[in-house]
Structure 1
Amino acid sequence: MRTGTRRGASAGGNDKGDRFSSSHPFRSLTPRRIAAIAAGLLFVIFFLGKSSGGGREGYHSAAVETLTAGGVAPKEAAVEVDKLPPGSPQKQASASSGKCTPPPGKKATTYAIMIDAGSTGSRLHMYTFSHCDPNPEALPKLEDELFVTTKPGLSSYKGKPRDAAESLRSLMQQAVDAVPESERSCTPIAVKATAGLRLLGSKESQDILDEVERWLTNEWPFAVVKDGVVVMDGKDEGVYAWITINFLLGFIGPDQPASAGTAAVMDLGGASTQIVFEPIYDPGASDKLAPGDHIYELDFAGQDHVLYQHSHLGYGLMQARRALHNLVAYSYVWSSAPKGHPVEWDDLSPRDRIPNPCMFRGETKKVTLDPPGRKERQVTMVGTGAGFEACRRVMEVMINKDAACEKPPCAFAGVYQPRMSEVFSAGKVWALSYFYDRIAPLGLSSPFSISSLRQLTTDVCAGRDSPSWARFKGNSEAHEELSDRPEYCLDLTFMYSLLSLGYELEEERQVWMGKKVGDVELGWCVSPSLLLLLQARERPLTTSRIQGARRSPRDGRGTLVVPRRLGGAAPSDGLRPGSRPRGGEVSP
């Protein structure tokens, strides 16, 4: 049961307000620092990436390309159910199979609805769960998913909360049609907004959320979760994605063997990127996970996990595009005076054709520049076709690897992160969302090595006239993708730089990616829906609201307790002392 196609978050062109986190390189840009950065970029941009289209002369109008993804979705790479570990709940019988034996007093089928209010669109996931293991401690099987999407996202309705709520109407109508009437009043629904609304500002975002909650409660038949229409904490977004992957693959849950291990998750959205993994330390060594709010203690169905997590706000794909365009434009302005034709920032217009080493030669795109402390200006970026190395050098400035590191080791932007080569050397790494949407259509299969991603990026950045594009011969999906996005070189270079430079994954490190496990989409929405369902099953619903998942900070740490059984006591915020994270690897 599916509707629509999915390509991950897409456009991010309308966000205003506080776009960058405190650790983002553009937060601290001053004219003096900008000049220093620009000086370092001059050689890259203007010598390695020189084009014939610079300056105001020879200007030709170009159509404005939006960032909204359209067309045919990439082929969806699925992990086959028969290849999953024995402990995966996805290997259970289905409710419709005739072999279903639910726990005593429990229904064989239940539903849960989660709306992902992303930076570029709203996506409704209506999950159907089967409960066919008579053991009351068993986790349910995620049987089916209705997935529908609409654009733009809630964050596009700043100052128009009613319009924001109404933008969800088409999604809600399909959910009503999909859930049996007898189950609607006891089907929990929640809305979790991600980085787009976090960037909008507290008052504007809260006005939208309040109206969405009122609208859902008054106009629709589902059980709206109390305090469930919220801007999701960035740390929860990454952890939820981690739970989804490891739950569906059968790496976490009741009675999992100690050798099972867990998978790391790197999720790339439009406005932010998240990393979550379970570091493994030698019990006899002095090294351990440093204290701080990057620690997330998880009790999932009776198993303790101590996770490292961080959400890098401002390092999503669309924010990375913006950041790079701003850097290139600053270099253009800074270098104009020595050439005898000084250009003032406030005078920039689409007539300015600014050479961009991260775009294909000769291709143009109108973009909006919006660095902190400066007026928004629209200019025309012109691709120089300078290639991967030129683009990568600009990208490394944006990654901010050399930022001050107060608590080493740091990944990038001065953010503490234990080195994966030391504490997660054998675990699987899963790359989600935009990683899949940009890489998979070009023919790079899962798993791929970091070095193969580098080669793919080098080939793409070489441009259409390069012999390296012969690798895409016969791949109509790749040609469609590449013809539609002049910034494909930029996108891939950012992804490679993020994985190799930012997260320090070795060139030979393997990375898995995919869209589904069986028929189920991979993403963060599965795990909070599962949690809502388990809590609802503990306390059957007859009203329009249920209590949201309880989560409390402790010493700055994120904590989450997922109920251990469908019929037990209410979940507790208290956590047992964490057990040692498990090592090893299971190949699905």
Structure 2
Amino acid sequence: MGLSWKEKVFTALLAAAAVSGLTTLVLILVEATNVLLPAGTKFGMVFDAGSSHTSLFVYQWPADKENNTGVVSQALACQVEGPGISSYATDPTAAGESLRGCLEKALARIPEAQLRETPLFLGATAGMRLLSQKNSSQARDVFAAVSRVLGRTPVDFQGAELLAGRDEGAFGWITINYVLGMLVERSPAGPLRHPCYHSGYWATLAPGALYESPCVHSTAPRNLTQNLTVEGTGDPGACTEAIRELFNFSSCKGQVDCAFDGVYQPPVRGPFYAFSNFYYTFHFLNLTSRQPLGTANATIWEFCRRPWKLVENSYPGQERWLRDYCASGLYILTLLLEGYGFSEETWSNIEFRGQAGGTDIGWTLGYMLNLTGLIPAEAPAQWRAQSYGVWVAGVVFVVLTLSAILGAVAVQLLWPHD
């Protein structure tokens, strides 16, 4: 006896479902390929607590890294309001509070789910080095205050430390090579006459501020508590002579490959990059376009000789740093020419830069590059994927399979008997 029409339809639907299902399985197994999903992004934060101000930098890099080091780029730069943390020696709590504004901006930049794994460091440089020498107890109080504030953030605070000068220089060298793809005399009475300040400048300063001047090379007397009145004389020649006393040039007499203080240095050759205060000072003086040495020297001396009132009127809104550009410019000339041995011929090899490759040049990026070598890399996630055409075909056969199965079930339910 032959099959009934219901059995024939039911058998045909089951056969169609089997063929369609088998085709779908073949498409999944044969055509699928392993695809590496894009690596996630990791973040790191570094406070640069300098002598005059503090800056916060947020860096980011792919989680899988390259050659075991994060390919780091700058995600955020924020300058903290107010002076450097060493200025809060008598009010350390304020040092910590001053960091909150930039902290909030940085925390908003990093995804909330990654905050706990984001390292945060604070490195203090010249200002805190000087404070540590003058009053180690005050320096410890400042570090404790900033650590309390940073330690209460949702990120992984790794500590605040005093960065040695040689480390600051080394990390700065790493930064620039990375982003470029290369790897006083006091008169017996009256005000203190100061050759590094413009003529007509007159101010009453605390002794600590005075002894931080580049024109003063001696240590402040411990019993010096009375404020001093300082009168600028605008004498670049006398200022340069005072700056020279900061260096021991005589220790290199008769020696080859010596900079100053008896320190070894090979002859200057190749390109050089001057950043940080070198750049800020020369940028203010419009000397960052590789002008000849004669132009740079004449510009700085002419600026130093301007009366203070003329300087104030010419640069409104820049009072915070204005009095120090003369001393800073002469210090840079003395250091580069007499200290490091640059000449009129090699001066053009120096490029004064604030950024390179969209990244601020300083020690913090080099510091973060060194740090990322200690952070384990994450293996990129894998996923089995198909081309668009194969995916569409698979969907069609899945639909056909389901339709055939549903059809067979319907035949059984609607016509249970012949």
TM range (shorter): 0.5 to 0.7
Give the conservation status (yes or no) of the 8 Å contact 1:122–1:154: yes
Deviation at 1:178, TM superposition (A): 1.3
Instruction: Report the Cα distance in structure 1 between the residues aligned to 2:90 and 2:322, rounded to whole angstroms.
Output: 31
Match of 2:351 among 500, 504, 512: 512
Q: Given residue 265 of structure 2, which amino acid in structure 1 is its aligned partner?
A: P
Distance in 2, Cα, partners of 1:443 & 1:139 = 36
Q: Which residue of 1 aligns with 2:264?
A: 417
Does the 8 A contact of 1:449 with 1:508 survive in 2? no
What is the aligned partner in structure 2 of residue 394 from structure 1? 242
CA distance in 2, matches of 1:452, 1:197: 35
2:167 to 236, 241, 253: 236
- Residue 231 of structure 2 is aligned with which of 382, 397, 404? 382
Q: Give yes or no for the alignment of 1:429 onto 2:361.
A: no
For residues 446-494 of structure 1, give each alpha carbon's deviation from its aligned partner in whole angstroms, at most 9, with x where no partner exists: 33444332122122234269xxx9xx9xxx9868769973454333222
- Paired position in structure 2 for 1:216: 150
Correspondence for 2:364 among 506, 525, 536 = 525
Matched residue, 1:544 = none
Task: Tell me the equivalent position of 1:361.
Answer: 199
Partners of 1:406 and 1:198 in 2: how far apart?
33
Matched, 1:328 2:262: no
Q: Who is 1:460 aligned against?
A: 303
The match for 2:414 is: none
* Distance in 2 (alpha carbons) for counterparts of 1:535 and 1:477: 49
Contact kept? 1:441, 1:478, Cα under 8 Å: no
Say whether 1:111 aligns with 2:43: yes
Q: Against the structure 1 CA distance between its residues 444 and 157, is the aligned structure 2 distance closer, same or farther, given a 3 Å change threshold?
A: closer
Please give the secondary structure, in 2, of the residue aligned with 1:199: helix
1:381 & 1:159 partners in 2: Cα distance? 23
Distance 2:282 2:318 in 1: 10
Query: How do residues 88-107 of structure 1 correspond to structure 2 at under 5 angstroms?
Result: 107=39
Q: Is the 8 A contact 1:115 1:124 kept in 2?
A: yes
Say if 2:44 and 2:60, in contact at 8 Å, map to a contact too. yes
Count the aligned residue pairs.
328
What does 1:49-64 align with in structure 2 at a 5 Å threshold?
Answer: none
Give percent identity, aligned residues only: 26
Letter in 1 for 2:301: T
Give the C-alpha shift of residue 240 in structure 1. 0.7
- Deviation per residue, 1:42-100 (Å, 9 max, x gap): xxxxxxxxxxxxxxxxxxxxxxxxxxxxxxxxxxxxxxxxxxxxxxxxxxxxxxxxxxx
Change (3 A) 1:355 1:192: closer
Structure 1 residue aligned with 2:294: 451
Residue 104 of structure 1 and its aligned partner are, at CA, apart by: 5.5
Deviation per CA, 1:365-392: give whole Å up to 9, x if none: 3333554436244333333344x33432
Structure 2 residues not aligned, in runs of 5+ = 1-34, 212-218, 381-418
For residues 232-268 of structure 1, the C-alpha deviation after alignment (integer angstroms, 9 at most, x for no partner) is: 122111111110000000111xxxxxxxxxxxxxxxx
Look up the equivalent residue of 2:203 and give its one-letter code: K
Aligned-pair CA distance for 1:437:
1.2
The amino acid across from 2:164 in the alignment is D
Q: Residues 405 and 191 from structure 1, CA distance in 2 versus in 1: closer, same or farther, beyond 3 angstroms?
A: farther
- Asked if 1:127 corresponds to 2:75, the answer is no
Contact 1:408 1:416 in 2 (8 A): no
Q: Give the Å deviation of 1:131.
A: 6.7
CA displacement 1:104-128 (0-9 Å, x = unmatched): 5773422110111222333211123
Q: Mark the CA change 1:478 to 1:453 in structure 2 (over 3 Å): closer, same or farther.
A: farther
Distance 1:483 1:155 in 2: 16
Stretches of 4+ aligned residues off by more than 6 angstroms: 404-408, 476-480
Cα deviation, residue 137, structure 1? 5.6
Partners of 2:290 and 2:98 in 1: how far apart? 38
Verify the 8 A CA contact 2:50 2:125 in the aligned structure 1.
Answer: yes
Opposite residue 76 of structure 2, the aligned amino acid is E
Q: Helix, strand or coil: the match of 1:359?
A: coil
Distance 1:119 1:241, change over 3 A: same
Q: Tell me, what secondary structure is at the counterpart of 2:173?
A: helix
Q: CA deviation at 1:189?
A: 1.0
Unaligned stretches of 5+ in structure 1? 1-102, 253-326, 334-342, 344-351, 541-565, 568-588
Q: Classify 1:483/1:164 alpha carbon distance in 2 versus 1 (closer, same or farther; 3 Å).
A: closer
**How much is the aligned-residue C-alpha RMSD, in angstroms?**
3.6
2-structure distance, mates of 1:129, 1:451: 43
Paired residues of 2:48 and 2:123 also in contact (CA < 8 A): yes
Give how far 1:142 is off: 0.9
User: How far apart are residue 224 of structure 1 and its match?
Assistant: 2.1
Q: Is the 8 A contact 1:111 1:533 kept in 2?
A: no
Contact 2:198 2:304 in 1 (8 A): yes
1:25-174 pair list within 5 angstroms: 107-130=39-62, 140-142=71-73, 144-158=75-89, 161-174=92-105
Q: Distance in 1 between matches of 2:170 and 2:90?
A: 31
User: Compared with structure 1, are the counterparts of its residues 233 and 377 closer, same or farther at alpha carbon in structure 2 (3 Å cutoff)?
Assistant: same
Change (3 A) 1:181 1:482: closer
Question: How far 1:435 moved relative to its partner?
Answer: 1.3
Query: Counterparts of 1:112 and 1:362 in 2: how far apart (Å)?
Result: 47
Amino acid at match of 2:53: G
Distance 1:522 1:142 in 2: 12
SS in 2 for 1:164: helix
TM-score by length of 2: 0.67
Superposition deviation, residue 203 in structure 1: 4.0
The change in CA–CA distance for 1:385 and 1:163 in structure 2 (over 3 A counts) is closer
- The structure where helix makes up a greater share of residues is 2
Q: Equivalent residue for 1:89?
A: none
Name which one, 1 or 2, has greater alpha-carbon Rg. Answer: 2
Q: Which amino acid aligns with 1:454?
A: N
**Aligned in 2, Cα 1:235/1:398: closer, same or farther, shift over 3 Å?**
closer
Matched residue, 2:12: none
**Cα pair 2:72 2:369 within 8 Å, conserved:** no
* 1:439, distance to aligned residue in structure 2 (A): 1.2
Q: For residue 506 of structure 1, give the secondary structure of its aligned residue in structure 2.
A: coil
Q: Matched residues in 1 for 2:88 and 2:355: separation? A: 31
The 1:405–1:114 alpha-carbon spacing in structure 2 relative to 1, beyond 3 Å, is farther
